[in-house]
């Protein structure tokens, strides 16, 4: 069975390939597809959002995900089986929950079976020593129960991602991700945004550095190169972009920046 792999390990060190070596040693036939390893170091929230968006494009398979600032301390290594057959493996710090809830959480286990581990288990690299082999055994068809004891599914950690709402006609938003093109993803969900604003209407944007009006468009190319627009992209979040340019650089905004959206 396919294994997807997400982490904040980057690709300059050997860590990702060390995990893959362990997986391949156990499950020679299992294919591994990287989601990304460039999650900002320790940023569990962005990791959770990206895992959630990526996994929705896969048929049932195993998703190995590691953003684990608490490695080697008391936080359970877990595996979550969903109603659809997708299985998530990683630390119990909220990283997996958002994605797993999309599919409906069915069972959760704490990974405790030492026969699964790559031994001796280090205190710094559970990805290689616990999570990767667990994912490998699952990809071979081993049941969740092989990995360890059942956990109450209502006790796994969830993340509090605070999405913003319009109050009157004004919304105090925050940039929660800057994508590769420099577009600025805001903490405004599609439904909230579209409740008030229709395509081709304009909104008023105001930050510390600039004030402007910008149209809500459906395609990046609906505005001229260099112009500012708002779009609901594949993240299902309201996103500020500059056509054929980098909105983050151009507007001086980055992750965490505050911006007021009004209509």
The residues that touch a second copy, with contacts defined as CB under 8 A, are 2, 4, 8-22, 24-25, 32-39, 41-42, 50-51, 53-55, 57-59, 69-73, 122-125, 128, 179-182, 218-222, 231-234, 243-244, 246
Q: Smallest gap, in angstroms, from Cβ of residue 187 to a second copy?
A: 17
Alpha carbon separation from 30 to 1, 109, 218 (Å, rounded): 6, 22, 39
66: its two tokens = 């590691």
**216, 197 in Cβ contact below 8 A?**
yes
Q: Smallest gap, in angstroms, from Cβ of residue 167 to a second copy?
A: 28
Residue with smaller CB distance to a second copy, 150 or 219: 219
Q: Which phi-psi region, left, alpha or beta, contains residue 106 (left: φ > 0; alpha: ψ -120 to 50)?
A: alpha
Q: Map tokens 């797993």 to a residue.
A: 100
Q: Smallest gap, in angstroms, from Cβ of residue 70 to a second copy?
A: 5
Residue with smaller CB distance to a second copy, 148 or 229: 229
Q: How far is Cα 111 from Cα 232, in angstroms, rounded to an integer? A: 38
Residue with smaller CB distance to a second copy, 71 or 184: 71
Residue with smaller CB distance to a second copy, 172 or 222: 222
Q: Smallest gap, in angstroms, from Cβ of residue 93 to a second copy?
A: 11
Q: How far is Cα 212 from Cα 222, in angstroms, rounded to an integer? A: 18
Q: Smallest gap, in angstroms, from Cβ of residue 136 to a second copy?
A: 12
Nearest to 238 by CA among 204, 172, 196, 192: 192
Residue with smaller CB distance to a second copy, 93 or 174: 93
Q: Smallest gap, in angstroms, from Cβ of residue 184 to a second copy?
A: 13
235: its two tokens = 């993240």
**106, 83 in Cβ contact below 8 A?**
yes
Q: Map tokens 């995900």 to a residue.
A: 65
Residue with smaller CB distance to a second copy, 24 or 204: 24
């Amino acid at each position: 069975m396919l294994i997807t792999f997400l982490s904040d390990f980057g690709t300059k060190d050997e860590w990702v390939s060390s995990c893959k070596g362990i997986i391949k040693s156990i499950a020679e036939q299992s294919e591994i597809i990287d989601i990304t390893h460039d999650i900002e170091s320790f940023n569990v929230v962005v990791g959770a959002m990206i895992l959630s968006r990526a996994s929705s494009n896969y048929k049932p398979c195993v998703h190995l995900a590691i953003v684990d600032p608490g490695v080697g301390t008391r936080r359970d290594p877990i595996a979550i089986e969903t109603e659809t057959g997708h299985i998530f493996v990683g630390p119990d710090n909220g990283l997996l929950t958002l994605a797993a809830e999309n599919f409906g959480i069915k069972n959760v286990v704490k990974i405790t079976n030492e026969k699964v581990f790559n031994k001796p288990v280090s205190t710094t690299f559970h990805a290689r020593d616990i999570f990767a082999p667990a994912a490998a055994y699952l990809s071979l068809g081993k049941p969740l129960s092989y990995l360890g004891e059942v956990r109450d599914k209502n006790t796994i950690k969830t993340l509090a991602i605070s999405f913003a709402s319009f109050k009157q006609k004004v919304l105090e938003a925050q940039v929660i991700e800057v994508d590769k093109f420099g577009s600025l993803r805001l903490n405004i969900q599609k439904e909230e945004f579209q409740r008030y604003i229709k395509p081709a209407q304009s909104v008023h944007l105001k930050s510390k550095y600039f004030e402007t009006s910008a149209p809500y468009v459906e395609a990046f190319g609906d505005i001229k190169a260099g112009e500012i627009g708002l779009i609901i992209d594949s993240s299902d979040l309201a996103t500020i972009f500059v056509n054929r340019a980098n909105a983050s650089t151009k507007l001086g905004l980055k992750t965490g920046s505050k911006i007021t959206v009004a209509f």
